[in-house]
Amino acid sequence: MILVFGSINMDLVAAVTAIPRPGETVLSPGYRTLFGGKGANQAVAAARMGSDVTMVGRVGQDGFGEACRANLAANGVGTDHIVAGTAPTGCAFITVDAAGENAITVASGANAAVEGSDVPASLLGPQTLAVMQMEIPLAASLAAATRVRNAGGRVIWNLAPAPADLGAAELRALLATTDILVVNEIEALMAAKALGGATDFKAAARRLAREGNTICVVTAGASGAFFSTPDGETRHVPAVPVSPVDTTGAGDTFVGVLASELARRGELALRSTLDAALGRACAAASMACLATGAQAGMPTRPQLDAWQPR
Ligand code: RIB
């Protein structure tokens, strides 16, 4: 069973010619209201692969919250443990430029009230593969991850978005609960900085893997993904090249599909398992870039199986 513990947002998405610089105003013909939140996106990505997925998080007692919950359920994600609190549902303000790149501001709302105790004991056990991100309070995620590990489960931690002020003690505590860390190139360098720094993202991944005694996966966009193991091995999995329409949610698709593939294959740390799972995650992330919105382009398992990129 995959337990996604994280954020649930409604995304307000505007297409722009160029993302505004500080102090600048740009015009967009309109905006779309789309389902998002890193946690919810990862849950949907894993569920579309056919995995048994339960989401734990918080929404507000408002229309966005109801719609987000209904969307998760419609995608096959278990929603019984989503709490409707007093704060409004999280909202992300997203601009997407002509090259498919984005800039995102998240108004956390209900996500900021999530607590580690929101995860019921009934979801914990050796079969639990938990997926964490960084859009809810870190203390809550650390508490939940510790409970997952104490019950014999495993944890994939996506360090996104990486906080600029992440301290060494916090990072070490996070790594101590982590079986697989997933970061992008920038997050890898930011995290390694908390441990003393690294010259490039590959060196950062090696440092994080060694010092955290964990597997560190780095997503590198069009260059694919790399993973480093605690014993210093680094491997590369190529991306599937596409012309992106919108890269929003590509990283979440990667994490959700990775979790699904690892849960299906069982043994997380096997090199062959990782190679295969990361190949599927890279392909799914490329597919996700072919539609506007975080979840619109996420493939189902049959769609991923059948995909023949040009
Ligand atoms: O990773 C993409 C997501 O980040 C968006 O869906 C938005 O909600 C923000 O959380």
Average pLDDT score over residue span 158-185: 96
Q: Which pLDDT band, with edges at 50, 70 and 90, does 191 fall under? A: very high
Average pLDDT on 287-307 reads 96
- pLDDT band at residue 87 using 50, 70 and 90 as cut-offs: very high
Q: Is the CB of 184 under 6 A from ligand 1?
A: no
Alpha carbon of 231 to ligand 1 centroid (Å): 33
Q: What pLDDT does residue 100 have?
A: 86
**Whether residue 74 has pLDDT greater than 80:** yes
**What is the fold, at CATH topology level, of the domain defined by 2-7+37-89+110-306?**
UDP-N-acetylmuramoyl-L-alanine:D-glutamate ligase (3.40.1190)
Could you read off the pLDDT of 53-72 as tens digits, one per residue?
Answer: 999 999 999 999 999 999 99
Mean pLDDT value across residues 2-11? 98
Residue 271 has pLDDT above 90, yes or no: no
**Is 171 a residue whose pLDDT tops 70?**
yes
Q: Is 252 a catalytic residue?
A: yes
Mean pLDDT of 173-192: 97
Q: Is the pLDDT of residue 272 over 90?
A: no
Alpha-helical segments (H) within 213-249: none
> Which pLDDT value is given to residue 269?
64
Nearest CA, atom 8, ligand 1:
37
Residue 250 CA, ligand 1 centroid: distance in Å: 10
Top pLDDT among 198 and 269 is at: 198
Query: Where does the pLDDT of residue 259 fall: very low under 50, low under 70, confident under 90, or very high at 90 and above?
Result: very high
pLDDT at 75 (0 to 100): 98
Cβ atoms of 233 and 222 within 8 Å: the answer is no
pLDDT at position 179 is: 96
Q: Is 162 in the pocket of ligand 1 (CB under 6 A)?
A: no
Kindly indicate the confidence band of residue 273, based on its pLDDT and cuts at 50, 70 and 90. Answer: confident
| Closest alpha carbon to 252 in 224, 229, 284 | 284
Give the chain's mean pLDDT.
95
Mutation test of ligand 1: which of 4, 8, 9 has the most ligand atoms closer than 8 Å to its C-beta?
9
What's the CA gap between 163 and 238, in Å, rounded? 28
CB 218 within 8 A of CB 198: no
Share of the chain above pLDDT 90, in %: 91
Report CA(112)–ligand 1 centroid distance (Å): 15
Q: What is the rounded average pLDDT of the residues 277-293?
A: 95
Q: Give the C-alpha distances (Å, rounded to integers) separating 48 from 131, 137, 244, 260, 284.
A: 16, 27, 21, 9, 11
Q: Ligand 1 pocket check: which of 4, 11, 159 to mutate, most ligand atoms within 8 Å of Cβ?
A: 11
When pLDDT is averaged across residues 160-181 and rounded to a whole number, the result is 95
255 lines ligand 1 (CB under 6 A): no
> Does residue 41 have its Cβ closer than 6 Å to ligand 1?
yes
Q: Are 77 and 90 in contact (CB under 8 A)?
A: no
pLDDT for position 199? 94
Instruction: Determine whether the shortest distance from the Cβ of 106 to ligand 1 is under 6 A.
Output: yes
**Are the C-beta atoms of 212 and 205 separated by less than 8 Å?**
no
Q: What is the pLDDT of residues 111-167, one digit of tens each?
A: 999 999 999 999 999 999 999 999 999 999 999 999 999 999 999 999 999 998 899
pLDDT band of residue 280 (cuts 50, 70, 90) is very high
Q: Which of 11, 231, 252, 305 is catalytic?
A: 252
- Per-domain residue ranges of the chain: 2-7+37-89+110-306
The phi, psi pair for 5, rounded to 5°, reads -115, 105
